[in-house]
Amino acid sequence: MINKDDIIKILRNVIDPELKMDIVEANMIRDIEINENKVKITIALTSPSCPLADRIENEIINNVKNLSGVDEVEVIKTTMSEDEVRKLFDKVKYRRIIQKFPKKNIKRIIAVLSGKGGVGKSSVTALLATELSRRKLKVGILDADVTGPSIPKIFGVKSMPYVLEGKIIPPISKTGIKIMSMNLIIVNEELPVIWRGPLVSNVISQFYMDVDWGELDYLIIDLPPGTSDAQLTVMQSLPLDGVIIVTSPQELAGIIVSKAVNMSMMLGVSIIGVIENMSYIKCPNCGEEIRLFGPSKGKIFAEKINAKFLGSIPIDPELSNACDNGIIEDYNNEEVHKIIEKIVDMII
């Protein structure tokens, strides 16, 4: 006789690779029907487009077919509610054992993340760090975009780090922001960094552990776009206090950044809020706001992921000029400054 207890027991062998948890403990089993030698199992996935759905289904079928008397197994796939997903991710967060690096003498560590490139993530990182520094706070920037670093150029920092008593001493910008980046190490900053994931991960770990950051109020980590090894290293190994998501009004940017958001949630990293960059441009003659990329979607997106909407930053050619010429700390657009002040007030 086939019984449900035996089926549940064997289903504990089926592990969701992303959650690193068996599907029974993850509460993915919703129903088990037994009809003579046929078994029908209904499971709830965390997402309707779960890329591992077929793999989980095959493992269920293969495991249950090993039970005596089972000839046929059918798997019905449904999707968890948003509330169920959040509870599951909270559970994963507290049970997953990840070897975190120590917090050192840094009060808050915040990563700046985007789903795709070209949304101005590094310029937002620079603006936030500059405003924090203006408030007499001790700030550092870890440029984790190893293969496409831009932070040193934005700040006009060209000095190479040096080693003192076994620790890497990072260069300092003119207002006192400590900066560590791959572009400060390579001889020619125009040469590409063609490395596989493990090497990138090791460098990020070294930038955190082997650099003498001293006492900091804030360490801002500029992450590369996407959801690859660099992001995993930062979110799993570094003691983050949260991430700030940078997006733009384009629908595509919103869709892609959702992947980064889901990754943060799955790894148990809290989302501080959402910044919409390149939201609009002001007409220099009449002051009208022109939305080049369509209507603002930042607030809607923030509400969708149950996060704070931190603000909309307009397009400003002077900001691009400041970044290109390494004078971000001299940049002063009153409107942008007010927005950044508001954001900083929210994260302090």
pLDDT digits (tens, 9 = 90+) for 222-268: 988 766 677 778 888 888 888 998 988 876 566 677 777 777 777 77
Mean local confidence (pLDDT), 141-157: 90
As to burial, measured by CB atoms within 10 angstroms (0-12 exposed, 13-18 middle, 19+ buried), residue 236 is middle
> Among candidates 261, 306, 298, which has minimal Cα distance to 278?
298
Inside any domain, residue 23: yes
CATH code, 49: 3.30.300.130
Assess whether 47 and 185 both reside in one domain.
no
Assess whether 90 and 138 both reside in one domain.
no
Copy the structure tokens of residue 237.
């190994």
Assess whether 111 and 91 both reside in one domain.
no
Copy the structure tokens of residue 252.
């595509």
pTM reported for the whole predicted model:
0.68
Asked if residues 109 and 221 have their Cβ atoms less than 8 Å apart, the reply is yes
The Cα 283–Cα 341 span in angstroms is 23
Alpha carbon distances (Å) from 253 to 117, 282, 295: 9, 22, 13
Neighbouring residues of 334: CB distance < 8 A, sequence distance ≥ 6: none
Q: Of 73, 95, 117, which one is at a domain's C-terminal end? A: 95
pLDDT band for 311, please (50, 70, 90 cuts): confident
Assess whether 205 and 125 both reside in one domain.
yes
Assess whether 184 and 267 both reside in one domain.
yes
Buried b (16+ CB within 10 A) or exposed e, 22-54: ebbebebbeebebeeeebebebbbbeeeeeebe
pLDDT digits (tens, 9 = 90+) for 36-93: 899 999 999 988 877 788 889 999 999 999 998 899 999 999 999 888 888 887 777 6
Q: Of 64, 95, 126, which one is at a domain's C-terminal end? A: 95
Query: How confident is the model at residue 278, as a pLDDT?
Result: 87
- Look at residue 293 and tell me whether its pLDDT is greater than 50: yes
Copy the structure tokens of residue 1.
């006789």
- CA angle (239 as vertex; 234, 242 as ends), nearest 5: 80
Instruction: Provide the residue type at 337 as one letter.
Output: H
Inside any domain, residue 336: yes
Identify the residue whose tokens are 């809290």: 270
Q: Of 47, 72, 95, which one is at a domain's C-terminal end? A: 95
* Through-space distance between the first and last CA atoms of the chain, rounded to whole angstroms: 62
CATH code, 243: 3.40.50.300
Alpha carbon distances (Å) from 56 to 2, 22, 53, 91, 234: 22, 10, 5, 20, 28
Of residues 218 and 194, more confidently modeled: 218
H or E element at residue 275: strand 271-276
Query: How confident is the model at residue 327, as a pLDDT?
Result: 95
Query: How confident is the model at residue 201, as a pLDDT?
Result: 78
Assess whether 187 and 270 both reside in one domain.
yes
Tell me 159's DSSP state. P
The count of domains in the chain is 2
Copy the structure tokens of residue 48.
């309707």
Assess whether 88 and 168 both reside in one domain.
no
Assess whether 36 and 180 both reside in one domain.
no
Assess whether 179 and 68 both reside in one domain.
no
The Cα 43–Cα 275 span in angstroms is 36
Asked if residues 64 and 53 have their Cβ atoms less than 8 Å apart, the reply is no
- Look at residue 221 and tell me whether its pLDDT is greater than 90: yes
Query: How confident is the model at residue 93, as a pLDDT?
Result: 62
Assess whether 71 and 137 both reside in one domain.
no
> Among candidates 157, 160, 154, which has minimal Cα distance to 122?
154
Alpha carbon distances (Å) from 183 to 58, 149, 223, 229, 270: 46, 6, 15, 19, 29
Query: How confident is the model at residue 97, as a pLDDT?
Result: 44
As to burial, measured by CB atoms within 10 angstroms (0-12 exposed, 13-18 middle, 19+ buried), residue 242 is middle
Inside any domain, residue 223: yes
Inside any domain, residue 254: yes
Inside any domain, residue 100: no
Tell me 250's DSSP state. S
Assess whether 59 and 129 both reside in one domain.
no
Assess whether 139 and 199 both reside in one domain.
yes
- Collapsing DSSP to helix, strand or coil, 16 comes out as strand
Inside any domain, residue 101: no
Range of the domain at 286: 106-347
